[in-house]
Amino acid sequence: MSETILKTEYSDVMQKSYIDYSMSVITSRAVPDVRDGLKPVQRRVLYAMDQLGLNYDKPHRKSARIVGDAMGKYHPHGDSSIYETLVVLEQDFKRGMALVDGHGNFGSIEGDGAAAMRYTEARLKKFTQEVYLKDLDKDVVDFVPNFDETETEPAVLPVRIPNVLVNGAEGIAVGMTTSIPTHNLGEVVDAVIAYMDNEDISTEELMQYMPGPDFPTGGLVVNKSELLEIYETGAGKIKLRGKVEFEQGKGRDKDKLVISEIPYTMIGQGIGKFISDVVDLIETKKTQDITDISNESSKEGIRIVLELKKNADVEKLKNLLFKKTRLEDTFGVNMLVIADGRPEVFGLKGILQHHVAFQFELATRKYNTLLKKEYDNKEIKEGLIKACNIIDLIIEILRGCKNQAQAKACLTTGNIDEIKFKSEESKKNAAKLHFTERQADAILQLRLYRLIGLEIEALQKEYEETLGKIAEYEDLLSNRKAMRRAIKRDLEHIKKEYAMPRLTEIIDAEAAVYEEPKIVEQEIVFAMDRFGYVKTMDTAAFERNKESVYAENNYVMSCLNTAKICMYTSAGNLHRIKLLDIPFVKPKDKGVPVDNVSNYDSSKEDIVFLCLDGNEVGHKYLFVTAQGYMKIVDGSEFDAASRKTIAATKLLENDRVVAIYPASSAIAFDKLVVLQTKDGHFLKFPISEVPEKKKTAVGVTGIKLNGKDEVDEVYIISNEDDVTADYHGKSVSLRRFKTAKRGGQGSKVKL
């Protein structure tokens, strides 16, 4: 077979492949369908549970079995994503309406993870069965082949409510995200009915029925006036606040601020972060009104208690918490959904429009299926009624036939060949029979008890009921108003059965205002000990304890309390620390680890050099690394950076900074630099031979190293200085080494 080589532009192939990948992620993984409000993995988990028969009135089944079925039949993308989906479907603090009834540890609102899937069990909720999975057997949705075409799965579930609104959605695709808040089921149903009654209804009018989001964590929405624009455009920001209540202390009890509801965005690790932020406010003395904080939350609900000092300014403290913690947060809304196979952002009315169209489609397919079934029933019952009227002839035919096929042929076509009859009249009547195939099968399966008089009356009654259903279904299918009434009846039943009171209060609140207290500038003393604990202290107290402070700390410097400390590390980072963030304590107090007040990580880097921020201008700094690279950097390179952490120098792989020295005066007075290695090589040369480089440069070679040898110590001296170095306990005078050139191997000291 001949081969054809197609030549194409590589960039075109990559562009097409990436677009295909992007659309696959958007439509088949991360963004929900507007019709059922579910992502594919959620739809497949619910369908797998339905196929397993995990009804609300049946025993729970191991989650591992559910995950295994979903992965093996419908979703071959790994068990962790499927189990995570199952867990979230169970968590009522994340969903407007939980869809799975879990048994075991399915995690908590405070961020505790669920137990392994082999320990937990689950089944469907009654709500899920009635509202999400009902009528799947009535051909209401299309079924498509699964990934290996051995099974079929529904392309969409026949969900009877706008699930994308009730349960919300969040997902990150390629180049786009979706973020839809949860809403109250009863209010959403009311909005759907209002839209069905008047398709020209405005968004503002719809919001009289559904005023805004309703989060399972309660709390407050405080920008009510901005919600209209959000629901018209499908995008915007909702401002959330926790519910804070003041409890007056009785007797010896202290006054308390109690947080009983949290913003939806605080679910999980956000609660621990909030408590940590409050502790930081206390430690940094942003507030002195809080004496203690405790988390008394339980299964009954959230209860975070802040104990207050007597006569604390409660309103000021609330504003501080709103401004400085996640007790006030923002929920970004982007109502991105899949509609007609492509991603699109809809406002409230657009979502309801697609939902109602979907409901009419479901109802049409359902009643067409039911109508066909009733026509089949009508055909059968007409045949049975007719058969009952001529039952003697039927029995005579059956007794005269040799087999069932012969009897069926007589009933359907009047074929009387080889059938024995008692009389010629019976033979003539039998030849006139023309039952349908379905009627003939029903007659042949007819049981004798059905010939009792009451049973014949019941059959006649069933026939009349069938005729009534046929008339009803035909009316529904031909009359849109009748169909609308039927859909509304279903919605009203769902609301009556499952709706719950609203949890989230929607108001227009004034913005939280908190003015930072003006800082009185004063001179203080900063100290850091060898274990990395930092503190600041009063100058007078330092003077009284000067000797002990110097003895116990590696770094001690006088500065203003408004200044910052620059901390250079072995990893080549520069961390800036506000002195106001460091505890102001007595000289004998320990302080706090520097890790707690900066981005510094003591497990990954060592402190090499400390100085006051702002001293860089006009100064130059000598950098020396373990692999022997050196450079001089102008301090202005670090002056413009206002971030907490920046890269102070570029390092090669496995290299680290071993020394940083202020070098301005050293260059001016022609000082010498001495490099000492671990293997005992010493190289002395003028510091003026080290070039000035940018902070982004690696530098030049200061000393040539052999094997795994590396620079261990750096000294800056003058010719007159009599400085000694320690090499494995041996004192080595640096004056003994001749001044050489940079880049040499240096002199080896023998032990």
Q: Show which residues are catalytic.
A: 119
Residue 353 makes CB contacts below 8 A (sequence gap 6+) with: 195, 199
Q: Measured between alpha carbons, how far is residue 301 from residues 109, 120, 214, 277, 297 in Å?
A: 9, 23, 17, 21, 6
Distance CA 629, CA 631 (A): 7
Backbone dihedral angles phi then psi of residue 500, each to the nearest 5 degrees: -125, 160
b/e string for 251-277 if b means 16 or more Cβ within 10 A? Answer: eeebbbbebbbbbbbbbbebbeebbee
Distance CA 293, CA 256 (A): 10
Specify the 3-state DSSP secondary structure of 345.
Answer: strand
Q: Measured between alpha carbons, how far is residue 630 from residues 605, 626, 687, 703 in Å?
A: 19, 10, 10, 9
Distance of CA 229 to the CA centre of its chain: 25
Helices (H), 479-606: 480-498, 539-544, 546-552
Q: Which of 302, 183, 300 is nearest to 244 (CA)?
A: 302
Contact call for residues 499 and 547 (beta carbons, < 8 A): no
Distance CA 181, CA 170 (A): 8
Q: Which of 172, 177, 262 is nearest to 215 (CA)?
A: 262
Residue 185 makes CB contacts below 8 A (sequence gap 6+) with: 96, 97, 161, 166, 494, 495, 498, 499, 500
Specify the 3-state DSSP secondary structure of 544.
Answer: helix
Distance CA 156, CA 109 (A): 30
Contact call for residues 596 and 639 (beta carbons, < 8 A): no
Distance of CA 210 to the CA centre of its chain: 25
State which H helix or E strand residue 462 sits in.
helix 453-478
| Strand residues in 310-417 grouped as ranges (E) | 328-334, 336-339, 342-345
Q: Measured between alpha carbons, how far is residue 346 from residues 334, 351, 538, 683 in Å?
A: 9, 6, 60, 71
Beta strands 700-701 and 672-677 are: unpaired
Distance CA 561, CA 564 (A): 8
Distance CA 357, CA 87 (A): 31
Distance CA 622, CA 706 (A): 23
Count the neighbouring beta carbons within 10 Å of the beta carbon of residue 540: 8
The identity of residue 250, as a single letter, is K
Contact call for residues 195 and 354 (beta carbons, < 8 A): no
Distance CA 322, CA 242 (A): 9
Backbone dihedral angles phi then psi of residue 472, each to the nearest 5 degrees: -65, -50
**Structure token pair of residue 163:** 């699930």
Contact call for residues 144 and 155 (beta carbons, < 8 A): yes
How many angstroms separate the first and last alpha carbons of the chain? 78
Contact call for residues 46 and 88 (beta carbons, < 8 A): no
Strand partners, 683: 675
